[in-house]
Amino acid sequence: MTFGAPARPGGSALTQRLLELSGISSLRPARRGPTPDCLRTGARVLDVGCGDGGSVDLLNSAGYAADGVDADEQLAEIAASRNPGASILQASAESLPHADSSYDAVMFECSLSLTDSARSLAEARRVLRPGGALMVADVFSGTSGDGGTIPHLVEEDFLKNLAALGYIVTGTEDHTQSLRDYYAQMLMDSGTAAAPCSAAEREAIKKINPRYLLYTAGKPG
């Protein structure tokens, strides 16, 4: 089976940037200072909403012990075929089939906004070991208004949920240009100058002013 480019803003380049922001250093030249123990090479990483398993493959190729879950049965099967040495399960982010404190890092790429994010963040915290890292790349807005065709997280609510669960934010970056480029490419690939959504949806998207953000946070030890 041939796999195409990741279907998300920034592709694998932003996956690598998210890993770097989290403290994972094996995907770039060594930096000064020790690599955090929770993200050493060989650490266990869970990709929640792993899709076809591209990021699981990336992580395992870099020397990490990465597993994945996806709510879609077909995608979970594709991810499992792509990563025969990993545990790939069909499961929801709100009810992970993993033991408490079983992973060093949990990653959501364009998947947290598709779930009940408060419950999903709580589940991620449960499966993270003390000192573990949470990694999120997603569309965010400053309002809870309807975003049309774009699932998104309200940044204020997201941060409140993190604080309520005891996470400590360790990093954030804005990559909104990657979101714009992604949708521009979708329009070009459609082969038509027609807008990919209705006028009402365009107004709804404009209202929420979507941004594409990377967030990392730690579970206290």
* Distance separating alpha carbons of residues 6 and 11, to the nearest angstrom: 5
**Is it the case that residue 192 has pLDDT exceeding 60?**
no
Return the higher-pLDDT residue of 48 and 191.
48
Helical spans, DSSP H, in 23-154: 54-61, 73-82, 117-127
* Count, residues in the chain: 221
If one counts every other C-beta atom within 10 angstroms of the C-beta of residue 181, the result is 14
User: What confidence tier does 31 reach under pLDDT thresholds 50, 70, 90?
Assistant: very low
**Is it the case that residue 4 has pLDDT exceeding 60?**
no
Residue 192 belongs to some domain of the structure: yes
In this structure, the strands spanning 211-218 and 168-174 are: antiparallel
pLDDT for 119: 98
* Distance separating alpha carbons of residues 127 and 104, to the nearest angstrom: 9
Residue 142 belongs to some domain of the structure: yes
Q: Domain range for residue 165?
A: 11-26+38-218
Residue 145 belongs to some domain of the structure: yes
How many structural domains does the chain have?
A: 1
Q: Which of 8-12, 32-36, 132-136 has the lowest mean pLDDT?
A: 32-36
With a CB cutoff of 8 Å and minimum separation 6, the contacts of 47 are: 53, 55, 56, 59, 66, 67, 68, 69, 107, 109
Residue 33 belongs to some domain of the structure: no
* Spatial contact of 213 and 138, defined as CB atoms under 8 Å apart: yes
**Is it the case that residue 164 has pLDDT exceeding 50?**
yes
**Is it the case that residue 139 has pLDDT exceeding 80?**
yes
DSSP-derived secondary structure letter, 184: H
Residue 6 belongs to some domain of the structure: no
Q: What is the CATH number of the domain that holds 71?
A: 3.40.50.150
Residue 4 belongs to some domain of the structure: no
* Spatial contact of 121 and 165, defined as CB atoms under 8 Å apart: yes
pTM of the model: 0.84
Run of H or E including 14: helix 11-22
